[in-house]
Structure 1
Amino acid sequence: MDTRFPFVDWFRNSSPYINAHRGCTFVILIEGEAVAQGRGEQLIQDLALLHTLGVRLVVVLGIRPQVERALNEDGITPRRHGGRWVADEAIMARVERVAAEQRLWLESRLSLGLPNTPLHGVEMTVVSGNLVMAKPLGVRDGIDFDRSGEVRGVRDEAIRGLLDRRSLVLLPPLGYSSTGEVFDLDAAEVARHTATALSADKLILLGEACGLCDDSGQLRRQLAPLEAEPQLAAADPGSEMARHLGAAVGAARHGVARTHLLSWQDHDALLGELFTRDGVGTMITQHRYEQLRRAGIDDIGGLLELLEPLERRGMLVPRSRERLEYEIDDYVVIERDGMVIGCAALHAFPDARMGELACVAVHGDYRGGARGDLLLGEVERQARSRGLDALFALTTHTAHWFFEHGFGLADVDDLPPLKREAYNQARRSKILIKALE
């Protein structure tokens, strides 16, 4: 149905995510390039919106380009090794100054409540402090890194207490030692350790790249840590790709459910990733975002929604809720982030050593991705495990798909007796059979 206000449909479709994200903890890294390139204001508005929707926010703010500009203005060229600069006293003085400036800038923007601005009426308390503990990198390959450090720990209980009080926690890439020293840290490392310590629901890394692409340049929507490791190994040490991938893989392997790689150059990236089913970037997770599994009673509603358009077009025989409940053990489904996007059923006729491949359906938005092949392969596997010798199917619209997958035309007499008696002559479905090797 057409609507005068397209955003209304988007808002309706995003409502499950609004509910799901409420009360969740997100750790969001905003690289300094985003602020340097004028994207800070938009991101702040998006953070304020997430806050109003009940998301618990920890923001890690990168400052690398701002520090580099300060060093260039003062004619200081830092020594670098392994992707890190050696933070001596001169460099550290600039790091501390820039970190303070960026923190104050962010706090002031999040305090902006003027009428006619997106933040009007939004009250946010921003808290920063000595929440990240650090230790020196020390001497590496004969080079003393001085006040360049690495994360030793995160004061997670203190951060949780601040989040419980509805504060936004801001973490600059600085850490504090037990001896009172301040160390320069990698912002991505701070984000990873914080997300892990808090068992965050999401770690979101906003950099220049929109995510990870395959060899043909196509964006990869989801990877397991093991799948991301080849690109991590190939990335230049110290590059944004290496830093972000290292953080993502490490977080996924230490309990963070989902890590998202997004581009700050895309004005819609943060909200588009969080409030649409397919997102806009790359997600790295140990858990499968899309999975093939056996159906259960809780899938009945999703199956009805999936099948109804195909039944209305006459492609499938209508199935009542009661019938689906009775036959639910015969079904397998493809679930994508809580939504049933594909299904198939295996109705066994053991006496004839045959099985019916029934109700093969894939949501219109997800066709063309070999999901039908996946469903067929699972049904064939189940049929073989049950000692069946052949599969048969009845179809009025998709005979060619079955031909392409090894089925051949057959007659009513080739069906098992019970199915032969129930065959609907008025529907005139084509009968196709495939032998199982």
Structure 2
Amino acid sequence: MTLSHDDSIHLFRNSAPYINAHRAKTFVIMFGGEAVVDENFPRLIQDIALLHSLGMRIIITHGARPQIDERLRLRGLQGQFVDGVRVTTKETLECVKDAAGSLRSQIEALLSMGLPNSPMHGARIRVCSGNLVISRPIGVQNGIDFEHTGVVRRIDVEGIQDQLDDGSIVLLSPMGYSATGEVFNLSHEDVATQAAIACSADKIITLSELDGLFVEQKMLRTVELSHLQSLIAQDLVRAESTCLSAMVAGVAAGIDRTHCVSYKSDGALLKELFTRDGVGTLVMQNHYEQLRDATIDDVGGILKLIRPLEESGVLVKRSRERLENEIDLFTVIERDGMIIACAALYTYEDKSGEIACVATHSEYRGKSRGERLLDALKAKARAQDLKHLFVLTTVTAHWFLEQGFVEMKIDTLPESRKQMYNYTRNSKVFKLSL
């Protein structure tokens, strides 16, 4: 489908805040050898090059398992795995070096494309690879000698940062080198995770055959690490194992956010990074506070929270009885047993929802708690198949504009809500399409 001129302008304008937010940030992008043979791979590399041209500092790590297996087959050799880890014999190591070197050359060639009819025309991208990963052997485990299979011992952070500062994309293959001059076969998720941690990356982006992480048939869009670990413990998560392990290890080690998107879907990487809701799964750090649905026990805490705002006229006054009746509509953030933020979602006949009673304790403002509440209410709205959200406000108009809402006329309100509009308050109406 070809975008119209107006659609292209709208898309570019909506992407601009994310371009600004991601500029100069360090992203580790990880994919297995399966992605390289997918028909969408050239377009994926073009999108990675686009990220680089927009000012993002890119570290690429790639796997090579199917390519290694193919070279073993051609030599009449049989691959051996123990608990999913390859035993790398001397003969296997030659296949590893051959496969990794070939893939590195293929990726570098795609990043070097600059034909006039290609998206990277005039990009002048430099790609750096080399002995940036120092490794050690796994050794003998449970009686099995893994020989030339290794793990990351150290990342040459200074070398990587020098190349990133020089404007290069850093490409790390699944091989490491030891101080004794040996070569070891590494897992690409280990390389990606250790590189991200050592370089204090802002994101790890894993590229998977799947669109993201799934529980049953439902994709997880945003999930905190503690919740994800609980789901994993219950064996409820369906995901590509290398992506899942890298995401969990990365966030557990302090990486703020890790993503999983499909390498098969054209443009998925760009949609994940440059649209409000993304298309894959985002795993984030655990929040010290708990965001959850309100219960009847929270009525007192909510009343205490909103009373100062009611007295100042920012919020419409609610009685305890009304709040008790509507408590199922509220979402709260609790910290050490105290309700420090709340918001409610009311639904209407035209598939719309009203966000109301948005409040944050005065001592806990400015830490994206409002954004967390809004994200939770948007998720609830989508689960109820609502088409848009609206809000009436007298003093927080700018905040809702920053969240993507647009100002509308009172006549656009659902009929039943329009009849309850208080002209004395003269609230402004803002709307967000879902």
TM-score scaled by structure 2? 0.68
Q: Distance in 2 between matches of 1:16 and 1:151?
A: 36
Matched residue, 1:368: 381
Q: Distance in 1 between matches of 2:341 and 2:226?
A: 31
Q: Distance in 1 between matches of 2:425 and 2:95?
A: 82
Matched residue, 1:65: 66
Matched residue, 1:337: none
Q: Aligned pair in 2 of structure 1 residues 287, 240: CA closer, same or farther (>3 Å)?
A: closer
Matched residue, 1:117: 118
Give, in angstroms, the shift of residue 105 of structure 1. 1.4
- 1:158-194 deviation digits (Å, cap 9, x = unpaired): 1111101101000001111111111000001110111
SS in 2 for 1:49: helix
Q: Distance in 1 between matches of 2:113 and 2:423?
A: 69
265-274 or 3-12: bigger deviation: 3-12
Q: Aligned pair in 2 of structure 1 residues 78, 231: CA closer, same or farther (>3 Å)?
A: farther
Give, in angstroms, the shift of residue 287 of structure 1. 5.4
AA partner of residue 113 (structure 1): G
- Are the aligned partners of 2:214 and 2:239 in contact in 1 as well (CA < 8 Å)? no
Matched residue, 1:397: 416
Give, in angstroms, the shift of residue 230 of structure 1. 4.4
Matched residue, 2:280: 281
AA partner of residue 44 (structure 1): I
Give, in angstroms, the shift of residue 104 of structure 1. 1.2
Matched residue, 2:400: none
Matches within 5 A, 1:20-419: 20-215=21-216, 217-233=217-233, 241-286=240-285, 342-344=355-357, 368=381, 397=416
Matched residue, 1:391: none
Q: Distance in 1 between matches of 2:86 and 2:341?
A: 57
- Are the aligned partners of 1:331 and 1:343 in contact in 2 as well (CA < 8 Å)? no
Q: Aligned pair in 2 of structure 1 residues 86, 426: CA closer, same or farther (>3 Å)?
A: closer
Q: Distance in 1 between matches of 2:374 and 2:82?
A: 52
AA partner of residue 82 (structure 1): D
AA partner of residue 153 (structure 1): R
Give, in angstroms, the shift of residue 291 of structure 1. 6.6
Give, in angstroms, the shift of residue 36 of structure 1. 1.3
AA partner of residue 264 (structure 1): Y
Highest CA radius of gyration, 1 or 2?
1
- 1:325-372 deviation digits (Å, cap 9, x = unpaired): xxxxx98569xxxxxx944157xxxxxxxxxxxxxx979966625899
Q: Distance in 2 between matches of 1:424 and 1:13?
A: 33
Give, in angstroms, the shift of residue 279 of structure 1. 0.7
SS in 2 for 1:115: coil
TM-score scaled by structure 1? 0.67
Q: Distance in 2 between matches of 1:211 and 1:103?
A: 26
Q: Distance in 1 between matches of 2:224 and 2:151?
A: 26
Q: Aligned pair in 2 of structure 1 residues 109, 235: CA closer, same or farther (>3 Å)?
A: farther
- Are the aligned partners of 1:29 and 1:59 in contact in 2 as well (CA < 8 Å)? yes
AA partner of residue 49 (structure 1): L
Give, in angstroms, the shift of residue 242 of structure 1. 2.6
SS in 2 for 1:397: helix
Q: Aligned pair in 2 of structure 1 residues 116, 137: CA closer, same or farther (>3 Å)?
A: same
AA partner of residue 368 (structure 1): A
- 1:88-133 deviation digits (Å, cap 9, x = unpaired): 0100001001111111111122112122122110111100011111
Give, in angstroms, the shift of residue 74 of structure 1. 1.4
Q: Distance in 2 between matches of 1:186 and 1:240?
A: 17
Give, in angstroms, the shift of residue 197 of structure 1. 0.8
Q: Aligned pair in 2 of structure 1 residues 133, 424: CA closer, same or farther (>3 Å)?
A: closer
AA partner of residue 266 (structure 1): S
SS in 1 for 2:135: strand
Q: Distance in 2 between matches of 1:106 and 1:112?
A: 10
Q: Distance in 2 between matches of 1:118 and 1:367?
A: 38
Q: Distance in 1 between matches of 2:112 and 2:179?
A: 33
SS in 2 for 1:267: coil
- 1:269-320 deviation digits (Å, cap 9, x = unpaired): 100100011111111110569979999xxxxxxx9xxxxxxxxxxxxxxxxx
Matched residue, 1:6: 7
SS in 2 for 1:368: helix
AA partner of residue 270 (structure 2): L
AA partner of residue 138 (structure 2): L
Q: Distance in 2 between matches of 1:331 and 1:137?
A: 49
- Are the aligned partners of 2:96 and 2:185 in contact in 1 as well (CA < 8 Å)? yes
SS in 1 for 2:240: helix
Tell me the number of residue pairs that the alignment of Structure 1 and Structure 2 aligns: 328
Q: Aligned pair in 2 of structure 1 residues 47, 273: CA closer, same or farther (>3 Å)?
A: same
AA partner of residue 227 (structure 1): H
Q: Aligned pair in 2 of structure 1 residues 250, 397: CA closer, same or farther (>3 Å)?
A: same
- Are the aligned partners of 1:257 and 1:286 in contact in 2 as well (CA < 8 Å)? yes
- 1:239-259 deviation digits (Å, cap 9, x = unpaired): 973322121111101121110
Q: Aligned pair in 2 of structure 1 residues 124, 397: CA closer, same or farther (>3 Å)?
A: same
- Are the aligned partners of 1:14 and 1:275 in contact in 2 as well (CA < 8 Å)? yes
122-131 or 66-75: bigger deviation: 66-75
Q: Aligned pair in 2 of structure 1 residues 36, 235: CA closer, same or farther (>3 Å)?
A: farther
Q: Distance in 1 between matches of 2:355 and 2:85?
A: 47
Q: Distance in 2 between matches of 1:54 and 1:425?
A: 49
